[in-house]
Chain A
Amino acid sequence: MSVLVFAENWEGRFKKSTYEAVSYAAEIARQLNTSCTAVVIGAVSEEDKKGLGKYGATKVLSVANDKLKNLEAGVYTHILGDAAKSVGATHVVISFTYTGKAIAPRLSVRLKAGLVSGAIALPTSLSPFTVRKKCYSGKGLTDVVISSEIKMVAITPNSYKVNTGGADAAVEVFSPAIPDGEFKVVSKEVKKTSGKIALTEAELVVSAGRGMKGPENWGMIEQLAEALGAATACSKPVADMGWRPHHEHVGQTGITIGPNLYIAIGISGAIQHLAGVSSSKVIVVINSDKEAPFFKAADYGIVGDAFSVVPQLVEAVKKLKAAHN
């Protein structure tokens, strides 16, 4: 029995979601009284690899392969499948990121391991192995029981707190033989999102809707985001009209996020919008219409004109930050 976790990196650096996944896996290992091994694929510094021990990994299997620069899900699956076999993994944890979404289903078939994707908490029971996830795009919660011998969990970013305090992990080189024929996807171009903070990873999000009247008024939204160190998001019509890029569109047909703070400005709070943001820990709504449905889903609300409230908010945030620096 042992727990395996895929420690994802982006351009050689681990992300917060990686530390969350390692912490989550290590906690399951602790409950099962076994060890947690992390797999790292690609060029990450030795120090960072050892450092995964801080989050509870006891061993790191390090895979270097010059060909593995882009996301080749079949090859990642091959590596993780071999790693799972080599450590006798009974439980496998992966982040529910785009990378995780590409790999987890394939690995699930390879290991014939039942997969709970988008888990939001630790297993509620280890036997039968039961994990809670959202369903109906955030409108419901469901408990999923895995009956296969090996269990897999893909954990939603920002839903599990990192644990720290462990000692350095032992790093071992792991090099399964990958035949050339397994590389089937050719990367032609990577277009990095220009935004300073990726929306899916952001802890704080400032979002605005049609109430902003036009793209020319987004300056104050960006100022607020900058003052807070937040990512920016928007409602669907705003993206559809081209006021904001599509990757900012949150909701049922956009991306689902669960930041610590979601500030919704001039957004009515339609059910499809709420589906994508309802798991935010704290929701602030600023809307000129006191009947806007969003207030029912909010923790804090201001009924007022965004054009006067938001600039004041920017100043107040700057003042707070200045006082704490």
Chain B
Amino acid sequence: MKFLVCISNVPDTTTKIAFSDNKGLNPAGVQFIINPYDEIALTRALEIKEAAGGTVTVLHVGGAGAEPNIRKALAIGADDAIRVNAEPTDAYFVACQIADIAKKNGYDVILTGRESIDYNGAQVAGMIAELMNIPCISVATKLDIAGTEAVLEREIDGGKEVVSVALPFVASAQKGMSEPRIPNMRGIMTARTKPLQVVEPVAADCITASTAYELPPAKQACKMISPDNVSELVDLLHNEAKVI
């Protein structure tokens, strides 16, 4: 079984976001991590590989700055890595890069996170699938594979659905699919010598661009209500905020 797991490099969840001249993230003091949902996907791929055999390749579209996190993915257990040396500015561009590599190398399962926690687009998985004309199961909370068939559980509006699909397919991972692991010492040592191939991008268009950023408007000061006068809160919510 050949897995391809796509990982993106995002600010740590505790980051206090600041923008430089509203043109982009101010990277000062920001620590970058593997996107948490991608790590869930990676861990599940490794679990299946360990049980059934196969290989797990991680793929990142982005600059060399992400290499420490690519090495981390190798330390967690991926067999090899590919980095497409291009700025990942637009989901369509990124999906074209991944689909191109996937077509050349032929994977059985392509996994991404349900969304990246920087742009929150939830676009790449579906785009890869459409570019390759294969199914995509998005926001999947479970993944099991037997032979050439996979059974997944996914979030749908109003609940969850269990579906089956034949290989190859794309899925985007949601919390629940696995519990991420911390790399051990041996993993960290072997990661240094695992192959990390850097390739140049194929030609693809960017069809969207983030042109400006700002912080959400600051909240007004919080109105405090005495715990001895709870009905005042209900009054305020009804008459002032008009939400109940």
Residues of A within 8 A of B211 (CB): 130, 143-145
B215 nearest in chain A by CB position: A140
Residues from 70 to 107 in B contacting A, C-beta threshold 8 Å? 90-92, 95
Asked if A143 meets B130 with Cβ closer than 8 Å, knowing A185-B135, A271-B13, the reply is no
A70, A141, A191, A308: which contacts B227 (Cβ < 8 A)? A308
Interface size class of B (residues with CB under 8 A): 35 or more
A324 to B120, CA, bound (A): 41
A114 to B205, CA, bound (A): 10
A133 to B214, CA, bound (A): 11
B118, B154, B157, B236: which contacts A136 (Cβ < 8 A)? B118
Are A282 and B243 closer than 8 Å at their CB atoms? yes
A110, A135, A301: which contacts B222 (Cβ < 8 A)? A301
Are B156 and A261 closer than 8 Å at their CB atoms? no
A101, A147, A186, A302: which contacts B207 (Cβ < 8 A)? A147
Say if the beta carbon of A278 comes within 8 Å of chain B: yes
A282 to B162, CA, bound (A): 36
A204 to B215, CA, bound (A): 25
Asked if A316 meets B208 with Cβ closer than 8 Å, knowing A189-B161, A254-B175, the reply is no
B36, B158, B176: which contacts A192 (Cβ < 8 A)? B158
| B216 CB to nearest A CB, Å | 6
The secondary structure that dominates the B interface is: mixed
The secondary structure that dominates the A interface is: mixed
Residues of B within 8 A of A138 (CB): 216
Stretch at the interface among A56-64, A163-171, A292-300: A292-300
Interface size class of A (residues with CB under 8 A): 35 or more
Say if the beta carbon of A104 comes within 8 Å of chain B: yes
A77, A187, A256: which contacts B130 (Cβ < 8 A)? A77
Residues from 262 to 295 in A contacting B, C-beta threshold 8 Å? 271-272, 275, 278-279, 281-285, 295
A148 to B119, CA, bound (A): 19
Residues of B within 8 A of A135 (CB): 118-120, 210, 213
Asked if A102 meets B136 with Cβ closer than 8 Å, knowing A191-B160, A301-B225, the reply is yes
| B124 CB to nearest A CB, Å | 7
Are B208 and A115 closer than 8 Å at their CB atoms? yes
Residues of A within 8 A of B183 (CB): none
| B148 CB to nearest A CB, Å | 13
A192 to B156, CA, bound (A): 9
Are A117 and B13 closer than 8 Å at their CB atoms? no
Say if the beta carbon of A211 comes within 8 Å of chain B: no
Residues from 290 to 325 in A contacting B, C-beta threshold 8 Å? 295-305, 308-309, 312-313, 316-317, 319-320
Are B156 and A204 closer than 8 Å at their CB atoms? no
Residues of B within 8 A of A303 (CB): 224, 227
Are A105 and B19 closer than 8 Å at their CB atoms? no
B138, B139, B225, B241: which contacts A261 (Cβ < 8 A)? B241
A316 to B164, CA, bound (A): 49
A134, A143, A284: which contacts B237 (Cβ < 8 A)? A284
Are B161 and A190 closer than 8 Å at their CB atoms? yes
Asked if A261 meets B163 with Cβ closer than 8 Å, knowing A104-B126, A115-B123, A299-B219, the reply is no
Residues of B within 8 A of A77 (CB): 130
Say if the beta carbon of A90 comes within 8 Å of chain B: no
Say if the beta carbon of B16 comes within 8 Å of chain A: yes
Are A99 and B157 closer than 8 Å at their CB atoms? yes
Are B163 and A70 closer than 8 Å at their CB atoms? yes
| A212 CB to nearest B CB, Å | 16
Are B122 and A105 closer than 8 Å at their CB atoms? yes
Asked if A313 meets B233 with Cβ closer than 8 Å, knowing A253-B175, A303-B227, A308-B227, the reply is yes
Residues of A within 8 A of B36 (CB): 253
Residues of A within 8 A of B123 (CB): 104-105, 108, 115, 117
A308 to B228, CA, bound (A): 10
Are A106 and B17 closer than 8 Å at their CB atoms? no
Are A110 and B121 closer than 8 Å at their CB atoms? no
Q: Knowing that A143-B210, A143-B212, A319-B234 touch, tell me 17 more A-B residue pairs with CB under 8 angstroms.
A: A73-B129, A74-B135, A99-B156, A114-B208, A139-B15, A140-B214, A142-B210, A144-B210, A189-B161, A191-B160, A192-B159, A201-B157, A252-B13, A301-B224, A316-B231, A316-B233, A316-B234
